[in-house]
Amino acid sequence: MSNPQPLEEEVYDMSGARLALTLCVTKARKGSEADLDALERMFQQLGFESTMKRNPTAQQFQEELENFQQAMDARDDFISCAFVVLMAHGLEGRLKGEDEKMVELENLFEVLNNKNCRALRAKPKVYIVQACRGEHRDPGETVSGDDIVMVAKDSPQTIPTYTDTLHIYSTVEGYIAYRHDKEGSCFIQTLVDVFTERKGPILELLTEVTRRMAEAELIQEGKARKVNPEIQSTLRKRLYLQ
C-alpha cells in the first residue's frame, strides 16, 4: 500500500481589496445593533472596506446586492474576496425585509456567483446569514465528556458557476436562531471573537465557532436550548483572513 501524500496547500490570494456588505433588519430585532458593532470591529481589523445598510425592504435586499456587484465589476483594482452578511427574521430559504415581504436567499446568492460577477470570478465569496430557518428548537442531547469533540483535469479556462462560495448559517435547516436583547446573537458574537482572536484557514476557524456554540447553553422561555451553525462550502483553496 502506498503512503498517502499530504495535501498541497493552495491558498487564495488575499493581497487585493476586501469588500464587505452587511444588510440588517434592526426593526423588531433587539440586540442587532450589538451585532453590527461587533461586525464593524471585525471588518476593520481584517482590513475590509465595509458598507452597512439598516432595515432594507425585501426588494432592497436584492437591489443592494446588485449595486454591490455592479460597483465591484466597475473597479479597476484587484479584489481578493467579498463578505456578505444578511441579518433578518427568516424561514428556510427566505429572509423577511423591513416591509414584512420575503426575499429568496437563492436569488441573493446568485448575484455574486462566478457567472454573474466578473470581479469575483474564482475569488472567495462568504455569506453569513443570521436568521431563523424554521420553527424547531433543540433541547440538546446528553453525551459523556469524552465525546465532545472525481477526475481532475487541468483546464484553467473554465470554472463551475457555483464554486468559491462559503455559506455560514446561524442555525441548521428547520431551526430557529437566537438573539439576546442587549448582547446580540450568540452566533455573530462568537464568530467575531474567533475571527479576530485566532489565525488559521477559515474552515478551521468555523469549526472553532461551532465548538464554542455547541458548548454554550442558551436559556429561552425558561428552557435550556442548544444551537449550532451550519457551514456549506464550495471553496477550492484555503482562505486565510489574517
Mean pLDDT along residues 165-176: 78
Q: What percentage of the chain carries pLDDT values higher than 70? A: 82
Q: What are the grid coordinates assigned to 87, written together?
A: 441579518
Residue of 81, 89, 117, 186 marked catalytic: 89
Strand ranges, E, within 121-242: 125-130, 165-169, 218-220, 223-225, 230-233
Give the residue among 130, 225, 128 at the shortest CA–CA distance from 177.
130
Q: For helices 32-45 and 186-197, give the axis angle rounded to 10 degrees.
A: 20
Q: What are the grid coordinates assigned to 62, written together?
A: 436584492
The whole-number pLDDT of residue 160 equals 83
Q: For helices 202-215 and 186-197, give the axis angle rounded to 10 degrees.
A: 130
What is the CB neighbour count within 10 angstroms for residue 105? 21
CA atoms of 53 and 26, how far apart (whole Å) = 10
Q: Is 81 tagged catalytic?
A: no
If one compares 158 and 154, the residue with the highest pLDDT of the two is: 158
Residues in the chain: 242
Residue of 24, 81, 117, 132 marked catalytic: 132
Query: How high does pLDDT run on average in the chain?
Result: 86
Q: Report whether 95 contacts 61 (CB < 8 A).
A: yes
The whole-number pLDDT of residue 153 equals 47
Q: Is 136 tagged catalytic?
A: no
Task: For residue range 46-73, list pLDDT tens digits in order.
Answer: 999 999 999 999 999 999 999 999 999 9
CA atoms of 181 and 220, how far apart (whole Å) = 12
CA atoms of 170 and 129, how far apart (whole Å) = 6
Task: For residue range 210-229, list pLDDT tens digits in order.
Answer: 999 888 776 666 776 767 88
| C-alpha distances out from residue 38 to 35, 193, 227, Å | 5, 9, 20
